[in-house]
Chain A
């Protein structure tokens, strides 16, 4: 076709291409960290990277699939406990066991979804919480898992420290980069279009014949997988699993704070949020309750007055997108073939 009606779909910008280059360089530098940095640096980065991975998973649910889950701690607990099960009971190598923990969570998430997807909005949120509590109570009441006092993951604890630290670091990096890339890939694919549309107007999307249930279910299962794997990475460092802490709501609270502060419904938001949250945690967590009160106040203020979070506010003001998931219709010929 020729003439003024020529239309093209633009899916990237100069800025996003620059960001891609910077991103690749950053990841390359991050990969090399254990080769030159000391252990405390890698340990610090493991915390930050796992926060990014968890926040991406929660954002996939809340920001795109419209599923406000308050029960992701259930899958973190599953990650922790299946790490113990696979290594101490089945004798698998811990580094191999970490990615496999996701399969346990994915398997549990299917029947869970069958139940909680019957609930909508706020009731869905509390429903997911009940499911996480059920998992916690089961684990806490089975004597084999160590009951309420938990267990030490011996196979992991007995690894040489430097091997464990390096492996854990790379697993954490893989979890964070993997989470970002998978969410990005999903959002650029067909199911991502469905998810973003669901977020914006669910009944309208359903009336257009989009399989809302299928799109939401895939997001839910994927988030369960991601949270469990990340949880397993976290417990490679913590070494001790215990029902009350492994299944604690504070895991999900952390994810919520990060995503709300950074910006819900964007890929950049959770990364930015994780960095801010991590900095706050490092500097203020010694204040205990006051620190948590501050986070609560931040969450309320941002939700009420700056609903897009920090990144959303930046996007509204300057229109920057580092991870272009949107499709823009442009008049004129495609200058950049996609």
Chain B
């Protein structure tokens, strides 16, 4: 059954999209802000990983130990010392600022690394697969990505519901003013949220860099896929985001199978259909 295999591959691809989407969703949930440089920052993380691997010659998976905290720090500082200033007044300002940031990152990477395709080499795990019958095969690495994304969602949910800091996140999300009256430093919370979101996105960028190749220009497409997963899943629903990511992954893979030129298009088509029929997404929780 080649179609069963196609769908399995789509589900695995969806794991990666869900990981991108989780970061986007967290930032929107906490500060109602959309970061248009979201995708570019994940590509930046992949390039940072490339540098780290180039310098110390370790497996990119091990390099995550350096890359993820570093990108967390970048996110924290970016929000604290730049983007927080745009949250006052007009809704347009964070969008314009992050759009500018996206152009800076893309062209900075282009300048530093050229437009060539790059890849991260994680060794044997990349190509190892598990065959089920003669038509269906799981790649271990794509499966690992899906498992990681489920794990990230579980951990993030536990963090938001079980910890003191997570409560502060949710309080700020519900009512910024009241949260501040309760002694929550919302600037710090926003910066932490951006840091965590970018750490997740850095993870996604590096895993993607191992799975396929990347160039400085592919960030915006990652942002679009993350967005489609978030909207299809429903704002504020972390499991919805996973389902949205998987739907998108399956739609694209099925589309590619039908005709290589139409793969991404079929993904967009499924997104538009969901938007037309159920604009609040499949599992909406928050009202924007």
Instruction: Please give the residue numbers on chain A whose beta carbons come within 8 Å of chain B beta carbons, in ascending order.
Output: 62, 66, 68, 70, 114-115, 118-123, 125-127, 129-130, 133-134, 137-138, 140-141, 249, 253, 256, 260, 264, 289-290, 292-293, 295-300, 303-305, 307
Contacts and interface: CB of A to CB of B under 8 A. Distances in A.
Contacts of B104: 293, 296-297, 300
B275 A129 contact: no
Interface string B97-113: 10111111011101100
B272 interface: yes
A72 B86 CA distance: 24
Given A68-B95, A70-B99, A137-B264, A122 B108 contact: no
Interface stretch (B29-37, B172-180, B207-215): B29-37
A256 B99 contact: yes
Interface stretch (B59-67, B156-164, B221-229): B221-229
B97 A141 contact: no
A297 B275 CA distance: 34
Nearest to A297: B104
Nearest to B263: A137
Interface in B72-125: 82, 85-86, 89-97, 99-104, 106-108, 110-111
B: interface residue count bin: 35 or more
B82 A304 contact: yes
Nearest to B227: A126
B34 A122 contact: yes
B170 interface: no
Interface of B: 28, 32-36, 82, 85-86, 89-97, 99-104, 106-108, 110-111, 220, 223-224, 227-228, 230-231, 259, 261-262, 264-265, 268-269, 271-272, 275-276, 279, 288
A125 B95 CA distance: 8
Contacts of B275: 115, 118-119, 127
Which of B103, B220, B262 has the largest number of chain A CB atoms within 10 A? B103
Main DSSP-derived SS at the B contact region: helix
A108 B189 CA distance: 42
A289 B97 CA distance: 18
Contact of A130 (B33, B90, B224): B224
Given A66-B91, A293-B111, A137 B99 contact: no
Which of A70, A293, A296 has the largest number of chain B CB atoms within 10 A? A296
A115 B272 CA distance: 7
A130 B228 contact: yes
A122 B224 contact: no
Contacts of A300: 82, 97, 100-101, 104
A303 B100 contact: yes
A54 to B, nearest CB: 16
Contact of B108 (A115, A260, A293, A303): A293
A126 B224 contact: yes
Contact of A299 (B100, B106, B111): B100
A287 to B, nearest CB: 10
